[in-house]
Structure 1
């Protein structure tokens, strides 16, 4: 992997090298391995003969802070990239801007904050384990968390800028803002707001379609764009993977259940006519 990264990036970003958890890959690898061990092995064994923990207050605080943090970061990147029109020369090819130190400073700090959010997201799965909600500890859930945290680490460490991924951060944080608002409302009242759960998944699917289009554009129409082609292709491939995974989840969770409910209702009507 190191050789592949060296082919994409000539050197590591000097600013990112000085930030905690970014200089060396050891911390993120250790955290990820510990995360996998806890949620897949240690946690289930620990909870085997125990009742689910009542951590409602902790979850409420966690969800509220996630709402504030994600909304703030989405706003920060909108301001950084989409309101500073004089400093951003090309919206179809966002990359580093060495002649605009203020923009670059916001860029790396915002990317670093996004990276920390992705690491903190590991806590959510641990909550699932402590509540013995093992159904939510799915392949999709774990893959998404690990992929995001490790990739953003390499993006920040080696490239030192969000660049074309600014759109990913804006939409990802916006979607998470809605998602954690749903979690917060659900934790307050389990019967409130459940009807719009499926719309969050639709929003996530829309988000991946937009990411796919945004990163396909410079590959097809702007081949001279100096944003690393490997990162563009990675975004395209990951968008397709996430569309497939989330699409399967949506079909399995909402469409098939709706079809089964409709069949069951029809059978009940048939029985009542006799």
Structure 2
């Protein structure tokens, strides 16, 4: 028990010390004075993950078509604003894309970047609604471990990012991610219009590929900063690398399971589809087509295999099977 108490005291002391090196500019910003609001919202999110499916179990799914259209395109606008502010603010401040330490000054461009990063953090809290809508629509299969892990950790970790490093290199990953989210929520917004639009949305899998490229770029960018000794907090760089590795594993598995793996049942039923041509004919699979019954007036022909004599594959060989005593001569 004493060990637990000692650990708790050390944790509290470490947190108090960490506050002394936190960014004073964001201290009075909404939700930034304490981690309590962020943790409370995240706990409510996890509670809804448990209670939501139980509530919807015996209820009809909500359609939410108009709600989803408004929500998704609102997220497009928000993420576009974040990406635009980060890009323009970084250019105005003369940022380097390879190595940029954090400036805690009140320079207008530095505050602009910090503000855009704060909005990026807020957007991760708003994205909890993705899960809420899935559950209300009874799309429980969409609420995977990857989905929950991504949403829950991003909101919490970016509170830490805004509290201590709201600038410098932080703009790079947030700028790329918000740009990708413009495409992603644009896709979801169009898909919400229904089948007439969905048939044109063939590019969904490329969103996953772009996201995986993003994680590799993040690792390369952070690794370069560590290798060159960039004066950006090393703990943040290592955290980004470790976090990106988990996403490469999870998104890679998702891509393989969704787009690359051939279901086992497909091997048992039919050959793989080639160039969009199905193996089905008149409602039957070609491997399962019914065998027509032979005509009563025609003698049954022995099945000829590839291992039979070459002569039996010719017309004469077939005639000898059908009529072995033709012309009074025994052909066999």
| TM-score between the two structures when normalised by the length of structure 2 | 0.74
Cα deviations across residues 166-187 of structure 1 (Å, max 9, x unaligned)? Answer: 1211111111111111111111
Partners of 2:215 and 2:247 within 8 A in 1: yes
1:6, distance to aligned residue in structure 2 (A): 7.1
Aligned partners of 1:235, 1:263: CA distance in 2, in Å? 44
Is residue 2:167 matched to residue 1:162? yes
CA deviations over 1:238-257 (Å, ceiling 9, x no partner): 11110000000000011014
1:259 to 1:97, Cα distance in 2 relative to 1, 3 A: farther
**Alignment counterpart, residue 181 of structure 1, candidates 178, 181, 186:** 186
User: Using the alignment, how far apart are the partners of 2:48 and 2:236 within structure 1?
Assistant: 31
Q: Supply the distance in 2 between the matched residues of 1:156 and 1:119 (Cα, whole angstroms).
A: 14
Structure 2 alignment gaps of length 5 or more: 1-10, 273-284, 292-332
| 1:97 aligns with one of 96, 99, 103 | 103
SS at match of 1:163: coil
For residues 48 and 287 of structure 2, the distance between their equivalents in structure 1, rounded to whole angstroms, comes to 50
Structure 2 residue 207 is the aligned partner of structure 1 residue 200? yes
Q: Which residue of 2 aligns with 1:77?
A: 86
Which one has the bigger helix percentage? 1
Indicate how the Cα distance of structure 1 residues 216 and 186 shifts in structure 2: closer, same or farther if over 3 A, else same: same
1:164 to partner: Cα distance: 1.3
CA 18–99 in structure 1, closer or farther in 2 if over 3 Å, else same: closer
Greater Cα offset, 251-260 or 230-239: 251-260
* Equivalence for 1:35: 45
Considering only CA atoms, is the larger Rg found in Structure 1 or Structure 2?
Answer: 2
Question: Could you say if the C-alpha distance between residues 91 and 181 of structure 1 is closer, same or farther in structure 2, counting changes exceeding 3 Å?
Answer: closer
User: Residues 214-233 of structure 1 correspond to what in structure 2 (within 5 A)?
Assistant: 214-220=221-227, 222-223=228-229, 225-233=230-238
User: CA offset at residue 264 of structure 1?
Assistant: 4.9
| Equivalent in the alignment of 1:64 | 73
The answer on whether the counterparts of 1:8 and 1:228 sit within 8 Å (CA) in structure 2 is: no
Question: Would you say how many aligned residue pairs link Structure 1 and Structure 2?
Answer: 267
Structure 2 partner of 1:55? 64
Q: Measure the CA separation in 2 of the matches of 1:91 and 1:17.
A: 27
Q: In structure 2, what is the equivalent of residue 112 of structure 1? A: 118
Partner residue in 2 for 1:14: 24
CA deviations 1:218-259 (Å, max 9, x no partner) are 111x11x22100000011111111000000000001101478
TM-score by length of 1: 0.89
Distance 1:245 1:172, change over 3 A: same
On the 8 A contact 2:269/2:287 being kept in 1, the answer is: no
Deviates more, 1:161-170 or 1:55-64: 161-170
5+ residue gaps, structure 1, are none
State the shift of 1:5 in Å.
6.4
Cα distance in 2 between the residues matched to 1:100 and 1:22: 17
Is 1:122–1:145's contact at 8 Å kept on the other side of the alignment? Answer: yes
Give 2:141's aligned residue: 135
**CA 1:5–1:270: 2 relative to 1, 3 Å:** farther
Superposition RMSD on alpha carbons, in Å? 2.4
* Paired residues of 1:186 and 1:193 also in contact (CA < 8 A): no
Write the distance in 1 (CA, Å) between the matches of 2:211 and 2:66: 27
What does residue 151 of structure 1 align with? 157
1:26 is aligned to 36
Asked whether the 8 Å contact 1:112–1:156 carries over to 2, the reply is yes
